[in-house]
Structure 1
């Protein structure tokens, strides 16, 4: 079968070379970035410390690794080839979402109510503090890898 686009095999080969060149550069940097976000999350979570379980439950999952059970994303998940997951929560600390968003009073069937807890955000603020800087770093590394692979 003829190429749909003239030179598509060559383009495919070059794109694969770029991907192969980027992988060993980007993966360790992605894990480093995840660790930076996790460190800020731990600092921000100190304000809500009672037992320390929440802070200890903040994990960085590198490419190809599996998140802890009961982590923020709702269960276990394997990180993609170019993906790092930062999660909060595990089997011992299943309350990260309650700390992040706070709680409102809730009426039970027996007439009792739960208390309220003000939000003590740590997860999203840590991401927002780091996002732009880390995206710029990854973009620089990716451009460098592409330049090297295309020469």
Structure 2
């Protein structure tokens, strides 16, 4: 599941990020988004998977997320991983369920009922994510500016 959020009316944040170098601004945004998505990850912890917030995708997922890539874009993903941190390729079968399944011989082998864990976590926390993101992005911008000022003072 992919959800895009667009913050409108945040011109001050955009101008402050624009004043930073692109790499620095992306780091600021990535750190703020990682903190903002933590409530979604905590809310989905009752699932049979470990839930992680990351900017990385598995090799098979990258092709489907091409719209998330770009020089000026920052994308963070929250979702299931296995205990070793690798992606969980079967998680979507639990989240969305399956239809009736049959072998080639025609033998019926069952169906998996949907047991959503990410969608309810997102629905319960999406407004909170936006509020945390606004607060955290300002905090990260202020920390970055202070760090740059200290570095410039050292010479």
TM range (shorter): 0.5 to 0.7
Matching residue within 102, 106, 129 for 1:107: 102
- Residues 28, 113 of structure 1: CA spacing in aligned structure 2 closer, same or farther, 3 A cutoff? same
Structure showing greater Rg: 1
Matching residue within 67, 90, 93 for 2:88: 93
Q: CA RMSD in A?
A: 3.6
Q: Runs of 4 or more off by more than 4 Å in structure 1?
A: 15-18, 73-81, 89-92, 140-145
Q: Deviations over 1:71-114 (max 9, x none)?
A: 6x777878765331113246573211110011222233202112
Q: Deviations over 1:92-137 (max 9, x none)?
A: 7321111001122223320211212221100111111110111133
SS in structure 1 of the partner of residue 131 of structure 2: helix
* Residues 67, 87 of structure 1: 8 Å contact kept: no
Question: Normalising to structure 2: TM-score of the pair?
Answer: 0.56
Question: Normalising to structure 1: TM-score of the pair?
Answer: 0.57
* Residues 60, 87 of structure 1: 8 Å contact kept: yes
Structure 2, unpaired ranges of 5+:
1-13, 146-155
Which has the larger strand fraction? 2
Structure 1, unpaired ranges of 5+:
1-14, 50-54
Q: Deviations over 1:24-77 (max 9, x none)?
A: 65432211122322222222x1xxx4xxxxx13x32114xxx224456x77787
Q: Counterpart in 1 of 2:18?
A: 19
Q: Does 1:59 align with 2:52?
A: yes
